[in-house]
Structure 1
Amino acid sequence: MPVTLDSIVMFLGWIGAAAGVVAYAMVSRGRWAASSAPFQLTNLTAAGLMGMVAAANGVWPSVAANLVWIVIGVQAVVVLLRARARRRAAVVDGRATGAVVPVLTSSDLAPATEAVVVPDVALPDDEPSPREVGLAA
């Protein structure tokens, strides 16, 4: 049985459909955050592959919907990348070092025995908060 372009396109469409279902299931089960890179990239892949199948078959309303889906996905990935760059810059600048800062007494003559720990504000690269990336109100 020869492999045709139509069968390759259909196979890629099934991969796209599966990617969309996986992304939806992972977010619905709480395994991925909607603002995570894996979710956004899987959604982008799904939209691209299903849009390609729709275009190959002349289903233009689906092509238009998938193009909008792609634009939204690209925007979300750009926002994620910018947030990641801001976090890395904060770590490099020393704003997120977790350094111990002494607390001075009111007379400022001697440091108190207590210390304030500045929390590490950088999040893991793969899970920025929704508010941080602008995807939440």
Structure 2
Amino acid sequence: MELLWEITGWAGAVAMLCAYMTVSMGWIKPGTTFQAANLFGSCAFIINGTLHGAWPSVATNVAWFLISAVALLRMRGRQETVAVEAEPIVVPAYVTTDTGTQMVIPRPSAAANCA
């Protein structure tokens, strides 16, 4: 069982270092993938540190976990807000419907196109 906890700790180290390297090298943006890797890594370090009695490491990784969790929740909230927003496009006056009124065609915002 002890081997499992060691593997867990090393997997957390690899996840966090890979996330940091890929963002630092510009290979990925600091988004949900980065935060999820940090969340996983901090959980793994919390487990490993607790079993080894490394309390400063555990405290640091609890803070790391909370930062990543809050960041993921905030990103999720922004994605839901962006998906709802839409700007109407007013068609020029010479384009009319059968009733002679102008048509309004909704256009998604630029931020929604990036998601």
What's the TM-score once normalised by structure 2's chain length? 0.79
Match of 2:110, SS?
Answer: coil
Q: Distance in 1 between matches of 2:90 and 2:62?
A: 50
Structure 1 residues 74 and 87, CA gap change in structure 2 (3 angstroms): same
Q: Distance in 1 between matches of 2:110 and 2:67?
A: 31
Deviation at 1:122, TM superposition (A): 1.2
Q: Distance in 1 between matches of 2:71 and 2:37?
A: 12
Structure 1 residues 119 and 86, CA gap change in structure 2 (3 angstroms): closer
Structure 1: gaps spanning 5 or more residues: 104-116, 126-137
What's the TM-score once normalised by structure 1's chain length? 0.67
Q: Distance in 2 between matches of 1:21 and 1:66?
A: 14
Deviation at 1:120, TM superposition (A): 2.9
Deviations 1:105-129 (A, max 9, x none): xxxxxxxxxxxx986331433xxxx
1:120 matched to 2:110: yes
Task: Name the structure 1 match of 2:26.
Answer: 30
Structure 1 residues 53 and 123, CA gap change in structure 2 (3 angstroms): farther
Report the residue type matching 2:39 in the other structure.
L
Report the RMSD for the aligned CA atoms in angstroms. 2.3
Structure 2: gaps spanning 5 or more residues: 94-106
User: When the two structures are aligned, how many residues end up with a matched partner?
Assistant: 103
Deviation at 1:100, TM superposition (A): 6.5
Q: Distance in 2 between matches of 1:119 and 1:84?
A: 12
Structure 1 residues 13 and 89, CA gap change in structure 2 (3 angstroms): same
Q: Distance in 1 between matches of 2:39 and 2:72?
A: 9
Q: Distance in 2 between matches of 1:96 and 1:122?
A: 11
Higher helix share: 2
Task: Name the structure 1 match of 2:96.
Answer: none
